């Protein structure tokens, strides 16, 4: 979602890096680009004005302009002010809530409250909690049945009383939670296409009946500033403790996320980053800002990798790498792990300096690699040295690729295995002098040509391996 905004902000910093000494004019030029980027991202104009004024006051300070690293100082100022827009508050639910905790999900119709209920229930189960869900939306057709289906997929129990009174349904769920030991009750409330007094009265009655510790407003980030206006009205009439931004994997411009804290006055609690029930994340403002500024987000990357790896998989892989037994089947398993981590572009954006590399994020190429490996026999995947010319033709035909692409994959795989062997023998330092580390998707821009690698320039991986 922040891709365009991130590109513009980083472009403004690039123009500053070319200057030996910064002047107020240089700062003003960069701020003009940042201002346009924020406005085009649909950030509230009053928020943009206050943000730019604060950055200008700090960046034009003589101590900054005369420092030995003025550009880094300006980047730090922008980073700190972006963090201030998010409120410097970690996401999640409120601390020290009574048991059972009651979470009320609020929002307009179509914002994704029911799906978010399932995602939140799934997230709580991963935290070792025992949630119970209930729908109080008795007007929308099949709303109760929809939550039942979502709950079954999420593995979360759904309370289903006979009554169709919204307040009675919520109260009944709370009574069941107390009786059966559930520690969290998630209440999926009704929404409207617009805010009306009937909706607010109903929400107020549910609030008084179940005394929720968390009132989360579910905002569709695709609606931009309209979502912020609605959140402000809900906060004024009912009270909101946090915001859940959905559809952050879409092409929304990001202004809602940057404006919500300043305009509504409540923090972002969670973000929905995909369509599956596992795609709900705690909101970490420092990680989002680091990603926007091209600094990566290594902590989130590690968390995604840990969640994607099956139990014992990491130890098994480490053992195979140590014994130099890494095969094409193992490589295919790692491709599946990468897919479980989410869209490749999203994963790359978490690696410092990789967020803007579009050609490296071609998921179609990864699919072609997997197709090539799947067209091999188990024997060929375990021992690629037996793959001769006739086998390569069969593999190419079976995968819908060319013999050249099969050759490229096998060459890249063997180069990678040589690098792994060298690192295992001499540590990371043994690979630092390599200028052309192999890439693994055939046909991707910037890949070395196919062949045996014997004619590559000295200094590449083959030259270094030969010298050893």
DSSP 129-153: --EEEEE---SSTTHHHHHHHHHHH
Q: Where are the alpha helices (DSSP H) in 283-343?
A: 285-292, 298-308, 313-322, 328-340
Interval 79-85 mean pLDDT? 85
* Per-residue buried b or exposed e for 296-309, using 16+ beta carbons within 10 Å of the residue's own CB: bbeebbebbbeebb
Query: Are both 254 and 319 inside the same structural domain?
Result: no
Query: Are both 279 and 322 inside the same structural domain?
Result: no
Query: Are both 116 and 263 inside the same structural domain?
Result: yes
Query: Are both 153 and 245 inside the same structural domain?
Result: yes
Q: pLDDT, tens digit, for every residue of 117-145? A: 999 999 999 999 999 999 999 988 889 99
Among residues 295, 318, 334, which one ends one of the domains? 295
Query: Are both 111 and 259 inside the same structural domain?
Result: yes
Q: Parallel, antiparallel, or unpaired: how do β-strands 268-272 and 214-220 relate?
A: unpaired
Q: How far apart are CA 466 and CA 459, in angstroms?
A: 10
Query: Are both 187 and 227 inside the same structural domain?
Result: yes
Query: Are both 324 and 448 inside the same structural domain?
Result: yes
**Does this model's pTM top 0.75?**
no
For 356, the 3-state DSSP assignment is: coil
Query: Are both 324 and 398 inside the same structural domain?
Result: yes
Query: Are both 32 and 174 inside the same structural domain?
Result: no
For 265: left if phi > 0, alpha if psi spans -120 to 50, otherwise beta; the answer is: left
pLDDT tier at 442, thresholds 50, 70, 90: very low
Q: Where are the alpha helices (DSSP H) in 325-402?
A: 328-340, 344-349, 363-374, 378-382, 389-399
Strands laid side by side in the 268-272 sheet: 157-158, 131-135, 184-188, 101-106, 214-220, 242-246, 268-272, 280-282
Within its chain, how far is the Cα of 280 from the centroid? 9
Domain boundaries, position 36: 3-85
Query: Are both 53 and 152 inside the same structural domain?
Result: no
Q: How far apart are CA 441 and CA 372, in angstroms?
A: 11
Among residues 263, 295, 327, which one ends one of the domains? 295
CA angle (94, 95, 99) in 5-degree steps:
95
Candidate from 348-357, 393-402, 405-414 with smallest mean pLDDT: 348-357
Higher local confidence (pLDDT), 208 or 356: 208
Q: Are 36 and 11 in contact (CB under 8 A)?
A: no
CATH number for the domain that contains residue 19: 1.20.120.140
Query: Are both 166 and 32 inside the same structural domain?
Result: no
Total count of domains within the chain: 3
**In whole angstroms, how large is the CA radius of gyration of the chain?**
27
Flag whether 161 is in a domain.
yes
- Could you give the percent of the chain with pLDDT greater than 70? 74
Q: What was the pLDDT predicted at 362?
A: 59
Higher local confidence (pLDDT), 160 or 13: 160
The answer on pLDDT for 466 being more than 70 is no
Candidate from 323-332, 366-375, 389-398 with smallest mean pLDDT: 323-332
Query: Are both 224 and 365 inside the same structural domain?
Result: no
pLDDT tier at 103, thresholds 50, 70, 90: very high
Q: Are 203 and 215 in contact (CB under 8 A)?
A: no
Q: pLDDT, tens digit, for every residue of 399-437? A: 999 999 999 889 888 887 777 666 555 544 544 444 444
């Amino acid at each position: 979602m922040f891709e365009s905004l991130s590109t513009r902000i980083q472009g403004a910093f690039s123009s500053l890096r070319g200057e030996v000494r910064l002047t107020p004019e240089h700062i003003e030029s960069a701020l003009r680009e940042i201002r346009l980027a924020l406005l085009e991202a649909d950030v509230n104009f009053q928020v943009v004005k206050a943000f730019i004024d604060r950055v200008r006051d700090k960046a034009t300070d003589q101590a900054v302009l005369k420092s030995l690293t003025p550009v880094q100082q300006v980047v730090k100022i922008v980073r700190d002010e972006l963090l201030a827009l998010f409120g410097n508050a970690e996401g999640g639910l409120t601390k020290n809530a009574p048991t059972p905790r009651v979470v009320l999900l609020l929002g307009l119709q179509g914002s994704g409250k029911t799906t978010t209920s399932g995602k939140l229930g799934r997230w709580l189960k991963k935290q070792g909690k025992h949630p119970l869900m209930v729908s109080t939306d008795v007007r929308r057709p099949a709303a109760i049945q929809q939550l039942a289906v979502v709950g079954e997929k999420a593995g979360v129990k759904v309370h289903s009383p006979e009554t169709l009174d919204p307040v009675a349904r919520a109260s009944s769920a709370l009574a069941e939670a107390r009786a059966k030991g559930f520690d969290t009750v998630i209440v999926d409330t009704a929404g409207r296409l617009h805010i009306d007094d009937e909706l607010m009265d109903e929400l107020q009655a549910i609030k008084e009946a179940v005394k929720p510790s968390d009132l989360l407003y579910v905002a569709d980030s695709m609606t931009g500033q309209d979502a912020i206006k609605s959140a402000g009205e809900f906060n004024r009439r009912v009270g909101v403790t946090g915001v859940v931004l959905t559809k952050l994997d879409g092409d929304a411009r990001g202004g809602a996320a940057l404006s919500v804290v300043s305009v509504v006055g409540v923090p972002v609690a969670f973000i929905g980053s995909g369509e599956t029930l596992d795609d709900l994340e705690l909101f970490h403002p420092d990680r989002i800002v680091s990603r926007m500024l091209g600094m990566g987000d290594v902590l989130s990357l590690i968390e995604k990798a840990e969640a994607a790896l099956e139990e014992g998989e990491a130890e098994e892989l480490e053992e195979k790498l140590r014994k130099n037994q890494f095969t094409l089947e193992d490589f295919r398993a790692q491709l599946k792990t990468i897919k479980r981590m989410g869209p490749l572009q999203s994963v790359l954006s978490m690696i410092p300096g990789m967020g803007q590399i579009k050609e490296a994020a071609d998921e179609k190429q990864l699919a072609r690699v997997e197709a090539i490996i799947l067209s091999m026999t188990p024997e060929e995947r375990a021992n690629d040295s037996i793959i001769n010319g006739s086998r390569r033709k069969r593999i190419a035909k079976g995968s819908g690729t060319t013999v050249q692409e099969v050759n490229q994959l096998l060459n890249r795989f063997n180069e990678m295995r040589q690098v792994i062997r060298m690192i295992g023998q001499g540590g990371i330092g043994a690979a630092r002098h390599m200028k052309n580390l192999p890439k693994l998707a055939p046909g991707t821009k910037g890949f070395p040509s196919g062949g045996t690698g014997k004619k590559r320039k000295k200094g590449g991986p083959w030259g270094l391996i030969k010298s050893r």
